[in-house]
Every structure is written in structure tokens, then in C-alpha cells.
């Protein structure tokens, strides 16, 4: 992965300057420590910039890359995993290559197919392509949203970059908070769609193109998660479908091993990452593996990580995380993520990428995406039970099925059956609603909005869930409810939180590239064509995936109950100190930012610091407010991390 940036004059104006492009590259040094390059279009109408992390063609892959006569120029962040096959076909068609890099296939594919060049790519990418003859800028983002790409209008200019801190260097205005996006964070855990936390700054959604020419900007979708309707599912014996899935996953892993540097793996001790290590070993690669362990035994999975590492005979490294690590890494994590967050889970992942970097590992495989593709989350299981319960809402034993889902949470033990029934039973009369599976979580998260200031409430506009509902695609209503829930999860949590705040940003903070075989679009399309019962067989999640990898993993890992990744949260901030927490959550700071009600917020702060039993909702609200206040100090006030109370 790398970092890209650029400027396009949409109307006559001052020429694009190379020193501005250089300023935009400076904040991307962590994404591209191995080199920089720029291109200025004559007569300085457009400029492209690139910061390089060398993975393929280490000596000859400097960007921008161009076609034979220089009329197509490209800067690119990511990897095109099928570049070997694409290059062979393009050479057969008469195209000449001057590097061994995967980037060069982009300019020749564009020559052959125009804007449909993206249809031929198997990869993870954020692309900026300049067509000299047409005076056309094309921005493209990969199907799943693995890599970020932001853009903004600044007068008569279009400015774009891999990170917003880079984009801000090309804008003439100061950043302000997008309060509607804050409302989305306190609903979905992240902004959704094209929204960002910065007013006037948008992200190009996954699977979309932006085309700018003749002063106009057009955005179009070229790919989306679509599901077969009931009666149109892919047919076949379970064993045959498992073999088909195995073949696809094997190939998705194989092509993601293409690199001129070693490829390691994150190993959580769960099904998904362990299966990837198995596929890597079967492909002839014994990867170095990296894991997180936690001082809190309720969060720790290291026993399974060690079992998997011993089973495959790989060299394994672990970093142990406690409350002090969460506190110490908080500000830097907000700076890298460029967004508030409600859980501290990203912080250990930045430490994990630091471990990989220190071990001279530039590339890691991760199991992210499997739960969205194969329906692995307890949320899907919970919705299935709640729909079963909704058929007989007075049934006590049906309600008790939910208590078996969350042994790692103390909900049922602390609150009892009455609390469980009240929480999970809400909305049973709307079992056919599009957001039935997600509504309990969104409702819990949204309780934190009670601490919004009056100014924030007035500025939000349309409520988050209603706005998201308008974005659902045509045909959504014909899908099975299980598949509807998968689509919602992919659009609200995967791209903008798991792959961004927990993914790309924490990896690239330490110049490490993540690769995601489960998000190969061929794997997604196969899974989306299946009967949902092959993804969740009764209450056995990821059923077909387990069939595909059966016999290749330690039995204890194949059969273990799923434990979601969690980290310490508000408990890391119980101790009262004269540090960034005290500064960010002081009454003066809260009033100055204006996002939250100081009085109500101070009550929550005192509750956390007193070490009293803090609910899951209270913990999320506390972390959300703290991270928003730190975001304000970093990006609105312009305080550099490590200074001014940060």
C-alpha cells in the first residue's frame, strides 16, 4: 500500500503547484516511506502525487506510472493481485511494459477498456488516473472499501488524497466538524456512505468511480454486494459447494502471496485467521505470525494462538496489552484514524502493526471480512433467534436461547432474565423490518446522544437511520432477511470502521500492508449466491466455510465458540491524572468545542473515574466523547500529538 494525493482545476484558476503537492505528501510519509513522485499536467491543470511503500518491483516501480506515449498517467495505492494474468493478456494485445510492477497494468487496461477497466481488477485499490488527451481525472476505489480515498471541492478545484490530513494541506479553509457524521458515529460506530467527520470532505464509497472532466464531476457505482433472491440460490451438494469455496479461497490466498517481500499473517486464534495460515502453508509459505494478548483474561485468546502456531510450526510473536497501553496510545490512534470511535479496539491493532514492522514484515494476511461474507457474527445468530421468538412472543424458553450467545459478556448474569427479555424483545413485532437485526445495537449506541449539546442536535438534520434507509438498493426487499442483515453490516461497519479505523489506518500507521483473502470479490459473489442456511446452519455460523477447511485446522479451533475481538475500554481511564483526558473532558474544553452538554458529560466522567459499574452503553459513550474531544484538539485546534495536553 502507499499514499496518493492530487489536485484538479475544474475551472480556470491558479496553476497547480508542485510545492503544494509536496506539502500534501508530507502527512503520508507513514504510508509511503520508500519514495515519492509527482506529475504536473500541462499547462499545470492537474497534479498527481505518490508516496511509495515498495512491495512489488522494488527497484523499478516508482510512480507515477504511464503508458507508452505518456498520455495516461496513474498514481495508485494498493495491489492488483491478478496483474500477472492481466499483463500477459495486455502484452499479447500489443502493449509494451517498462516495469515489473502491478501498477502498470492500470494504464494499459484503461487504454483497452476505458472506465470499465476496473471490472477486470482483482485487488484492493485507490486509483487516480489522468487522461491527458481527454483532460479527464478518474478516481476509483476497490469493491469492498479496503483502501481509503477522500475528495473535496475548494473553490474551482477538486482535491483528493488517501488521508484527510493530507487533503487538508491542499484546501484553503480550516476544518470543522460534520455533526451529521457525529450522529452516525453514535449510531453505526462510524460515518456511512460518503460522509466523513469533516464538513465538506467526502469519501469515495467502495465500488465507485469519480470522473471529472470539462468542469463537471460525476460519481457512479460499478460494483455492489448483491444477493440472490430465494428460489435463485446456487444449487449443488454441500460437499461440492464446499470444494468450490475451497478452490476460490485457495486461489484468493495464492495471488495475495505475490510480493517481492515476505508475507506474514495476523493470527487471532479464531477460525478465519487460522484457516488463512493453513492455506498459506499449503501454498508453500511458512509465514511469520503476529498476535495480540491481553492482561485481562476475559479478553485473551493467546492459548488458541499458541496452539495454532505450534500446529503449523510457524515463528510466532505476541504483544501483550493492558490498560496503560490503551491510555498511552489513545491520542495517536485518533490522529491516525481521523475519526472518533466508541471502542478502544483500534489501539492494540496499531501496536500489532508496530510489532510486524519491527519484525521487518511489510505485508500481513488478515481474516477480516469473513464474518460479513459468511454471516459469522453473533448478531446474525441473535436475529435468527429473535425471529423464532417473534412467532411466539410469550414463550419464555425461546427467549432463554439468547442467554447462550454471549458468555463473554456479563449481561445476563448481572441483569437477569428480565433484562434480557426487555432488551432483545424490543421490536419483536417488526421481525420483517429491514434493520431488525441491527436495531437493538443501534438503539443502545444511540443512547449516548442524550449527551449531545443543543447546538449539535439542531445541526444534525436528518436522523442517521432514516438517511441510511434511503440508500438501500433496489431489490433489497426481495432478499432473505439474513442477507439483508449482511448487506447492512457491510455498509455500516465493514468499510468505514473495521477496514478503516481498525484496519488500513492502524496498519499503515506503521507502514504495514494488510491483505484480505475473504474479501476477494469472487469469494463474496459466491457466498452471496448461496442459500443463507449454508452460511448459518441452524445456529452453526459459517457452516460452509467450516466444511471447506475441515481437517486442516486444530480441532479445538475449528469447533470453538466464536469470541469477538475486544479490548479494554473505559476502565483504562479510571485513574484521574493531569493528562489529555483531564484536558479534553474539562468543562472549559467541552464548552469550547460545543459538541456535548458539559454538565451531563461531567456526571459520566465522574462515574467512570469512580470505578463504579459502568455499562456497555456508558463505556461507549465515554470513549465516543473522549475521542471526539481529542479529534477536535487535533484537527480543529491544530494541536500536534504529544503537545498542548495531547
pLDDT digits (tens, 9 = 90+) for 441-463: 999 999 999 999 999 999 998 88
Where are the alpha helices (H) located in 481-584, listed in sequence order? 481-489, 505-508, 521-528, 543-549, 555-559, 580-584
What was the pLDDT predicted at 427?
A: 74
List CB contacts of 319: < 8 A, sequence separation 6 or more. Answer: 290, 291, 292, 293, 348, 351, 352, 354, 355
Q: Distance between CA atoms of 21 and 40, rounded to whole angstroms? A: 10
Q: Distance between CA atoms of 384 and 378, rounded to whole angstroms? A: 10
Q: Distance between CA atoms of 617 and 628, rounded to whole angstroms? A: 16
Which of 573, 504, 178, 182 has the alpha carbon at shortest distance from 344?
A: 573
- Please state, in angstroms and as integers, the Cα–Cα distance from residue 565 to each residue in 40, 150, 270, 299, following that order: 45, 28, 10, 8
Where are the alpha helices (H) located in 338-462, listed in sequence order? 346-358, 370-374, 378-390, 396-400, 411-425, 439-446, 454-460
Please tell me the number of Cα atoms within 13 Å of 503 on its side-chain side.
24
Q: Distance between CA atoms of 377 and 371, rounded to whole angstroms? A: 6
- The H-or-E segment that residue 324 falls in is helix 323-337
Q: Distance between CA atoms of 636 and 638, rounded to whole angstroms? A: 5
**Within its chain, how far is the Cα of 165 from the centroid?**
18
Q: Is the distance from CB of 375 to CB of 541 less than 8 angstroms?
A: yes
Cell of 272: 478465519
Phi then psi for residue 550, to 5 deg, are: -55, 135
Q: Distance between CA atoms of 59 and 62, rounded to whole angstroms? A: 8
- Buried b or exposed e, range 381-397, using 16+ CB within 10 angstroms: bbbbbbbebbeeeeeee
Q: Decide: residue 422, CB within 10 A, 0-12 exposed, 13-18 middle, 19+ buried.
A: exposed
What was the pLDDT predicted at 412?
A: 43
Which of 333, 352, 372 has the alpha carbon at shortest distance from 527?
A: 372
Cell of 41: 499536467
- Please state, in angstroms and as integers, the Cα–Cα distance from residue 152 to each residue in 30, 84, 186, 500, following that order: 22, 35, 24, 19
Cell of 386: 429473535
List CB contacts of 492: < 8 A, sequence separation 6 or more. Answer: 188, 189, 190, 192, 438, 468
Which of 463, 449, 465 has the alpha carbon at shortest distance from 595?
A: 449
The yes or no reply on domain 238-369+499-559 and CATH 3.90.930.60 is no
Q: Distance between CA atoms of 54 and 353, rounded to whole angstroms? A: 17
Name residue 160's beta-bridge partners.
Answer: 6, 151
Across the chain, which has 646 residues, the per-10-residue mean pLDDT values are 94 91 97 95 91 91 95 97 98 96 97 98 98 97 98 96 98 95 97 97 98 96 96 95 98 97 96 97 96 94 96 97 95 97 97 97 97 93 87 74 65 54 73 89 93 95 90 94 96 95 97 98 98 94 96 92 90 86 92 97 92 84 97 94 70
* CA–CA–CA angle 67, 73, 77 (5° rounding): 115
The domain segmentation of the chain, as residue ranges, is 3-173, 238-369+499-559, 377-449+462-490, 570-636
Q: Is the distance from CB of 535 to CB of 525 less than 8 angstroms?
A: no
Which CATH code is given to the segment(s) 3-173? 3.60.20.10
Q: Distance between CA atoms of 218 and 209, rounded to whole angstroms? A: 8
Cell of 466: 432514516
Model confidence over 47-81: pLDDT tens digits?
A: 999 999 999 988 888 999 999 999 999 999 999 99
> CA 263, 268, 272, 274 torsion: positive or negative?
positive
Name residue 80's beta-bridge partners.
Answer: 123
Where are the alpha helices (H) located in 168-270, listed in sequence order? 179-188, 238-255
- 27 upstream amide cis, omega within 30 of 0: no
List CB contacts of 184: < 8 A, sequence separation 6 or more. Answer: 190, 191, 192, 195, 464, 468
What was the pLDDT predicted at 413?
A: 46
Per the listing, cell 500534501 goes with 24
Per the listing, cell 434493520 goes with 435
Beta strands in 84-181 (DSSP E): 123-131, 136-141, 150-154, 157-161
Q: If DSSP codes are grouped into helix, strand and coil, which group holds residue 205?
A: coil
Q: Distance between CA atoms of 19 and 21, rounded to whole angstroms? A: 5
Give the number of other Cβ atoms within 10 Å of residue 249's Cβ.
Answer: 23
Q: Distance between CA atoms of 495 and 452, rounded to whole angstroms? A: 26
What was the pLDDT predicted at 414?
A: 45
Amino acid at each position: 500500500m502507499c499514499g496518493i494525493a492530487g489536485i484538479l482545476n475544474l475551472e480556470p484558476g491558479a496553476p497547480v503547484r508542485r510545492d503544494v503537492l509536496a506539502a500534501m505528501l508530507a502527512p503520508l510519509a507513514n504510508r509511503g516511506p520508500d519514495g515519492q513522485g509527482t506529475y504536473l499536467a500541462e499547462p499545470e491543470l492537474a497534479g498527481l502525487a505518490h508516496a511509495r511503500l515498495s512491495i512489488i518491483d522494488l527497484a523499478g516501480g516508482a510512480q507515477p506510472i504511464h503508458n507508452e506515449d505518456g498520455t495516461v498517467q496513474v498514481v495508485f495505492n494498493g495491489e492488483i493481485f491478478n496483474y500477472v494474468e492481466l499483463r500477459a493478456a495486455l502484452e499479447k494485445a500489443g502493449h509494451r511494459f517498462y516495469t515489473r510492477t502491478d501498477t502498470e497494468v492500470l494504464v494499459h487496461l484503461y487504454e483497452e477498456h476505458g472506465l470499465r477497466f476496473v471490472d477486470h481488477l482483482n485487488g484492493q485499490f485507490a486509483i487516480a488516473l489522468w487522461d491527458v488527451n481527454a483532460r479527464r481525472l478518474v478516481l476509483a476505489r476497490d469493491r469492498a472499501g479496503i483502501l481509503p480515498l477522500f475528495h473535496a471541492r475548494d473553490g474551482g478545484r477538486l482535491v483528493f488524497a488517501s488521508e484527510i490530513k493530507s487533503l487538508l494541506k491542499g484546501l484553503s479553509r480550516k476544518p470543522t466538524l460534520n455533526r451529521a457524521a457525529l450522529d452516525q458515529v453514535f449510531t453505526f460506530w462510524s460515518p456511512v456512505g460518503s460522509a466523513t467527520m469533516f464538513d465538506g470532505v467526502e469519501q469515495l464509497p467502495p465500488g465507485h468511480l469519480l470522473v471529472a472532466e470539462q468542469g463537471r464531476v460525476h460519481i457512479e457505482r460499478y460494483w455492489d454486494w448483491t444477493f440472490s433472491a430465494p428460489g435463485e440460490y446456487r444449487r449443488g451438494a454441500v460437499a461440492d459447494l464446499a470444494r468450490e469455496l475451497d478452490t476460490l479461497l485457495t486461489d484468493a490466498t495464492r495471488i495475495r502471496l505475490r510480493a517481492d517481500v515476505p508475507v506474514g499473517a495476523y493470527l487471532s486464534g479464531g477460525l478465519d485467521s487460522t484457516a488463512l495460515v493453513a492455506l498459506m502453508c499449503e501454498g508453500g509459505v511458512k509465514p511469520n505470525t503476529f498476535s495480540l494478548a491481553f492482561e485481562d483474561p476475559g479478553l485473551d485468546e493467546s492459548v488458541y494462538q499458541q496452539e495454532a502456531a505450534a500446529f503449523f510450526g510457524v515463528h510466532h510473536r505476541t504483544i501483550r496489552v493492558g490498560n496503560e497501553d490503551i491510555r498511552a496510545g489513545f491520542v495517536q490512534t485518533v490522529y491516525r484514524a481521523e475519526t472518533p470511535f466508541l471502542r478502544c479496539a483500534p489501539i492494540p491493532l496499531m501496536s500489532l502493526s508496530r510489532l510486524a514492522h519491527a519484525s521487518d514484515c511489510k505485508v500481513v494476511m488478515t481474516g477480516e471480512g469473513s464474518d460479513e461474507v459468511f454471516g459469522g457474527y453473533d448478531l446474525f445468530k441473535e436475529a435468527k433467534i429473535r425471529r423464532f421468538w417473534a412467532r411466539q412472543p410469550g414463550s419464555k424458553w425461546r427467549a432463554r436461547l439468547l442467554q447462550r450467545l454471549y458468555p463473554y459478556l456479563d449481561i445476563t448474569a448481572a441483569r437477569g432474565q428480565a433484562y434480557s427479555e426487555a432488551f432483545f424483545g424490543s421490536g419483536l413485532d417488526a421481525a420483517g423490518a429491514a434493520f431488525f437485526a441491527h436495531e437493538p445495537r443501534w438503539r443502545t449506541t444511540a443512547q449516548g446522544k442524550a449527551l449531545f449539546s443543543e447546538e449539535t442536535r439542531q445541526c444534525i438534520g436528518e436522523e442517521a437511520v432514516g438517511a441510511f434507509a434511503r440508500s438501500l438498493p433496489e431489490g433489497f426487499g426481495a432478499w432473505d432477511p439474513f442477507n439483508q442483515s449482511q448487506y447492512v453490516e457491510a455498509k455500516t461497519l465493514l468499510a468505514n470502521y473495521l477496514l478503516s479505523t481498525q484496519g488500513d489506518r492502524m496498519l499503515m500507521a506503521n507502514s504495514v500492508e494488510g491483505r484480505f483473502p475473504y474479501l476477494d470479490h469472487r469469494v463474496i459473489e459466491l457466498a452471496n449466491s448461496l442459500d443463507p442456511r449454508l452460511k448459518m446452519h441452524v445456529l452453526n455460523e459459517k457452516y460452509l466455510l467450516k466444511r471447506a477447511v475441515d481437517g486442516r485446522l486444530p480441532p479445538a479451533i475449528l469447533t470453538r465458540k466464536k469470541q469477538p475481538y475486544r479490548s479494554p475500554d473505559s476502565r483504562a481511564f479510571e485513574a484521574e491524572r493531569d493528562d489529555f483526558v483531564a484536558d479534553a473532558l474539562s468543562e472549559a474544553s467541552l464548552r469550547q468545542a460545543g459538541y456535548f452538554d458539559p454538565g451531563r458529560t461531567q456526571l459520566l466522567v465522574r462515574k467512570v473515574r469512580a470505578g463504579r459499574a459502568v455499562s456497555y452503553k456508558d463505556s461507549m459513550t465515554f470513549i465516543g466523547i473522549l475521542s471526539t474531544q481529542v479529534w477536535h484538539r487535533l484537527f480543529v485546534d491544530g494541536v500536534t500529538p504529544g503537545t498542548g495536553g495531547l
